[in-house]
Structure 1
Amino acid sequence: MTTMSVTLTTQEKATVRTAAYGAVSLLAAAGGATGKPHKIATTGTIALSSATGVVGHVLAEKSGRIALSGSSVAELADQVLPALTAAMSLLGRHDPVEAENFRNTIAVAIDTTQLYQTRPNPTMVDMTRKITGALDAA
């Protein structure tokens, strides 16, 4: 059972939020070919808001905007993919159960963003592979 005794710093919480919401943003950008990036972003965000444990509390906090910038998917990925690895690493140091909770939360978000595909979108498949690789790099 996850204990709520895990205390994350403000910066660690920002890393977790950037990683999670950034992953959904990357999927929405990759899913643009489906013509439904806004639906992908919405369903991914709903999945994140359904998280539980420490991760769920962090993702639910109202802390202002997530600091993501850039004018291309590549610039967004340059921020998000390292944040995913960092989030897994820092959560693993605090509580391995919460690291797994984070991984599962991202997996659910990925799964929900694929609801609007009638067939596999190669761009989203590739982005999913990159996101999963970043999670596994920790």
Structure 2
Amino acid sequence: MSVTLTDQDKTTLRTAAYGAVTLLAAAGAAGSPHKIATHGSIALASATGLVGHVLAAKTKDINLYGKSVAELADHVLPALTAAMSLLKKQAPAEADNFRNTVLVAVEAAARTHQGEPSPTLADMIGKITGALDAA
């Protein structure tokens, strides 16, 4: 079965996935935001299936700007929920793939720190997971 996603659907997926990594980088600014972003982005680039093809596309349609973590979260967390909702309706197996891909990226990003993630990172990971599961 072939799934066709609109350009807006693809933008939502990319915004959600890369936004999750960006949120962690912003929340972990006391650590190494560049390492967080790098490790998370590498994990996203390793995705397979339809999700992998969407995330690998070279586009400029992702808007991850905000003056604060709160502004970024206001944009990204709903995108995570929307991405899961649209994939559950159009390609249920890809919904699981997307969720797993984002969580692997979050885990990869969080492991850039020695030991356990900071309380700030742990809290943001919980919010990202909650947004994924809200759909």
Query: TM-score, structure 2 length as denominator?
Result: 0.96
Query: AA paired with 1:15?
Result: T
Of residues 83, 87, 92 in structure 1, which corresponds to 2:88? 92
Q: Distance in 2 between matches of 1:119 and 1:126?
A: 16
Q: Match of 1:83, as an amino acid? A: A
Unaligned 5+ segments in structure 2 are none
1:53 aligns with 2:39: no
In the TM superposition, what is the alpha-carbon distance from 1:65 to its structure 2 partner?
Answer: 4.5
3-state SS of 1:32 partner: coil
Partners in 2 of 1:54 and 1:65 — Cα distance?
18
Structure 1, 113-122 or 15-24: larger mean CA deviation: 113-122
One of 40, 47, 69 as aligned partner of 1:44 = 40
Query: In the alignment, which residue of structure 2 is the partner of 1:17?
Result: 14
- List, as ranges, runs of 4+ consecutive aligned residues in structure 1 with deviation greater than 3 Å: none
Alignment partner, residue 31 of structure 1: 28
Match of 1:80 in 2: 76
Shift of 1:119: 3.1
In the alignment, structure 1 residue 6 sits paired with structure 2 residue 6: no
Q: Matched residues in 2 for 1:43 and 1:98: separation?
A: 22
Equivalent residue for 1:124, pick from 97, 101, 121: 121
Say if 2:132 is the partner of 1:135: yes
Question: 2:20 is matched by which residue type in structure 1?
Answer: A
- Deviations 1:30-77 (Å, cap 9, x if unpaired)? 11121x100100010000000000000000111215112210000000
TM-score for both structures, normalised by structure 1 = 0.94
Amino acid at match of 1:82: P
8 Å CA contact 2:36, 2:109 repeated in 1: yes
Task: Name the CA distance, whole Å, in 1 between partners of 2:52 and 2:115.
Answer: 31
For 2:66 and 2:110, the matched residues in 1 are separated by: 24
- Equivalenced residue count is 134
